[in-house]
Structure 1
């Protein structure tokens, strides 16, 4: 589209229509010190090779694998992605800028989303799954809103062991709308303390993450029974979808709604995004689901076809009737996930999950033998909390200099855990990598 600047007379007439005197009045809500009052001075544009050199220089200052041994997880996990996934995902039929506005004309895209929904529901043990959301945090917030629509209550309880950044997103979604968020603490074994539920009335839902932020595996079945005794809905959240290749699914443990992050399923870390929000529920809650559902049907000729069965979003129906104001989905990331799950199959997912667990246990055992403390004795999946020996308090900075990132410092989110670190081990870490970290703490 050509750029045709407005004339002075046109600008004057437009300002008169909107009721302001000059252009500056249109930006009156922006503080003065945030406005650019001078010309914008930009450097000369790079050539393509100069830009490559520039980006390469920047990347040298960033800790990336395999140049670094990185034992970070905390919601973004480094997993091996089969070449078949990356190759198929790059096909021009799939790589598109947006979800088609005439979806039935794009049967391939709809079928891919349908297959994703099917495998997501199976993995999580639920009846139905949505076409995807932005990430695990927004999926959790949407799940809580969904629960409050179903129960017509305005109070929810959220475990403090749900990812701290997820809880921040939940507050952003819920608090301005007048909903009440209560936090459940954690016990000495690193699991959610639900003893206070008996004292909470008019509760719409309880949300618990498993494996939780400390990597500990929660007893979802016991929690679910307690939540249902309070006539509330039970929401199971997760950040590591691969865990359910090994663990009993949340649906089998009594969850009403399951939500979380699917980045582990064929999507690279990419410095934090893009990601894949997963959300699934029991069939009875289908019409309260946010986002959209793809369904399978027959056309007038009796041939199989795929359609948007439900699209209760504000783009498609009246705003006040919509279940969500999310206007899109992460279908390309969902496609990566279904390709990944299809490539590994059920047996492959289980074997990979077992490998993650076994490697984490190997590192945990090795660190304990050097004098490191493991504060929580609860079973974990591929993450765990460790406290380095007091004589090694400078270990973190020392290891960074040796191109090793020994986990996430927890005191940023849990001040009471100063000196504790969250370590993650996936299949990408070799025995040599783990032994190198263990040797750093040997006497």
Structure 2
């Protein structure tokens, strides 16, 4: 190949690359392994994984019980979701660039859009984005284009820190600055937000319920944004919409969220599913792709890629986004999951998650040195303060077979106010999968007398009423 291109060595091929950006040492990699050695090595790595499935949990056994929060939750996934999403025509299908060849996928995406509109109260939803963080950033970019204000994007400090990092990354080389309004008390002061909304502000981004699980005064915040001509964006949790007002009812202009809780396993942090819905006036500026339903020349119902204003199809300067695909398989899982639940099922999942999380918070606060970090009302997740630091409590729980977190110390310190003392804070959540017995066992494991377990008192395994 070198002879064919007229080069004497591989080094000649790299001559155009400046020496300052070239690696001048071998890669920091171990020596190669033969196939049998590699299999043993990979098997040893796999054995280090601790499954979080607690379906067969026995006190002292090997399975884990998951009380993890922070935007990813251990919800029950019906078997029908795996069965339908695993069908070959869906599981191996590529992104449908040619609508006529992908009617099944297009119909599924159309139904996904319809369900997201039903959830959020809006009339427009796209066929999904990569995850909640990129969806929030795309909403900010839409607001900048729509308002033609390139001064600033205001984001609450109670928005997920990883979403804020994604937003800052995507806006780094654009004129708009990201301005964060701190929330040292677990919710944001409306007056502080009003003061931050200037005439050159394009968007206000509010997470409700917020990263700490608390309820923001969303209606007042969105009303304040509207008064200044600022586009308001709500980061929502789709499961909590079984109980709470929809983003449209609260007065938001755009709703974005993470769809992991809708039939998608926790799976090592991804891939997940970005949700995006908005008012109809933003239709042509919506990122990604939108599926439409129409009729063909013979009058038969069919589905088409109705709108995909992205760089791959139109002039770059006119593109709404560089998002070039959608999370098709995960959108299908969410569609099947929501269709199985229905409105009443979603309400029951949300209600059970809220009740169990409150019971979990009450039981854990019986542990010496553990208190609720904030006085604000919370929903399906709670932030706890552990005197002296959360690391010890997490280690004790982990040794007993329980996974809690995330600890706020895992995020960069500058993302939280100094007075919040992030090293003492930890998030915990209980979904509909958790039982009263599991919560009581966790509380017992963290108490001074771990032998006094609920099993000793003969308490049955019941959902928290």
User: TM (normalized to structure 1)?
Assistant: 0.90
* Residues 1:90 and 2:86 aligned together: yes
Task: Identify unmatched segments of 5+ residues in structure 1.
Answer: 1-5
Distance 1:392 1:204 in 2: 38
* Residues 1:375 and 2:373 aligned together: yes
The residue that corresponds to 1:442 in the other structure is 447
Task: Name the SS of the counterpart of 1:418 in structure 2.
Answer: helix
CA deviation profile, 1:292-332 (whole Å, cap 9, x unmatched) = 10001111121111111101011111111110111111011
Task: Name the SS of the counterpart of 2:365 in structure 1.
Answer: helix
User: What does 1:259-408 correspond to in 2, within 5 Å?
Assistant: 259-371=256-368, 372-389=370-387, 394-408=392-406
CA deviation profile, 1:39-83 (whole Å, cap 9, x unmatched) = 995212249xx84x6544323323321312222111111111000
User: Could you tell me how far 1:411 is from its partner in structure 2?
Assistant: 2.9
* Residues 1:104 and 2:94 aligned together: no
Match 1:217 to one of 215, 218, 225: 215
* Residues 1:8 and 2:3 aligned together: yes
Change (3 A) 1:442 1:253: same
Q: Is contact 1:384–1:424 with CA below 8 Å preserved after alignment?
A: yes
Q: Is contact 2:390–2:426 with CA below 8 Å preserved after alignment?
A: no
Change (3 A) 1:233 1:79: same
Give the count of matched residue pairs: 428
Task: Name the SS of the counterpart of 1:78 in structure 2.
Answer: coil
Match 2:157 to one of 156, 160, 181: 160
The residue that corresponds to 2:190 in the other structure is 194
Match 1:419 to one of 419, 424, 435: 424
User: Could you tell me how far 1:209 is from its partner in structure 2?
Assistant: 0.5
Change (3 A) 1:432 1:60: farther
The residue that corresponds to 2:407 in the other structure is 409
Distance 1:361 1:411 in 2: 23
User: Could you tell me how far 1:145 is from its partner in structure 2?
Assistant: 0.0
Task: Name the SS of the counterpart of 1:291 in structure 2.
Answer: coil
- Tell me how large the CA RMSD over aligned residues is: 2.5
Task: Name the SS of the counterpart of 2:338 in structure 1.
Answer: helix
Task: Name the SS of the counterpart of 1:204 in structure 2.
Answer: strand
User: Could you tell me how far 1:7 is from its partner in structure 2?
Assistant: 4.2
Distance 1:21 1:388 in 2: 57
User: Could you tell me how far 1:26 is from its partner in structure 2?
Assistant: 3.9
CA deviation profile, 1:85-136 (whole Å, cap 9, x unmatched) = 0011000111125212212221111100000000011111111100101100
Q: Is contact 1:163–1:212 with CA below 8 Å preserved after alignment?
A: yes
| Stretch deviating more after TM superposition (101-110 or 113-122) | 101-110
User: Could you tell me how far 1:195 is from its partner in structure 2?
Assistant: 1.8
Distance 2:231 2:338 in 1: 29
Distance 1:402 1:39 in 2: 36
Q: Is contact 1:79–1:427 with CA below 8 Å preserved after alignment?
A: yes
Match 2:147 to one of 131, 135, 151: 151
Match 1:57 to one of 44, 65, 85: 44
Match 1:76 to one of 72, 76, 80: 72
Distance 2:190 2:6 in 1: 61
User: Could you tell me how far 1:84 is from its partner in structure 2?
Assistant: 0.4
User: Could you tell me how far 1:32 is from its partner in structure 2?
Assistant: 3.9
Task: Name the SS of the counterpart of 1:70 in structure 2.
Answer: strand
CA deviation profile, 1:228-280 (whole Å, cap 9, x unmatched) = 11110110013x32111111111111110001100110001111001000000
Change (3 A) 1:198 1:87: same
CA deviation profile, 1:148-194 (whole Å, cap 9, x unmatched) = 10000011101111111111111110011232110011152x11233
Change (3 A) 1:81 1:8: same
Match 1:44 to one of 29, 34, 46: 34
User: Could you tell me how far 1:391 is from its partner in structure 2?
Assistant: 10
* Residues 1:125 and 2:127 aligned together: no
Task: Name the SS of the counterpart of 1:278 in structure 2.
Answer: strand
| Stretch deviating more after TM superposition (425-434 or 28-37) | 28-37
Q: Which runs of 4+ in 1 moved over 4 A?
A: 37-41, 53-56, 389-393
Distance 1:8 1:369 in 2: 75
Task: Identify unmatched segments of 5+ residues in structure 2.
Answer: 55-62, 449-465
Change (3 A) 1:25 1:305: same
The residue that corresponds to 1:3 in the other structure is none
Match 1:243 to one of 230, 240, 244: 240
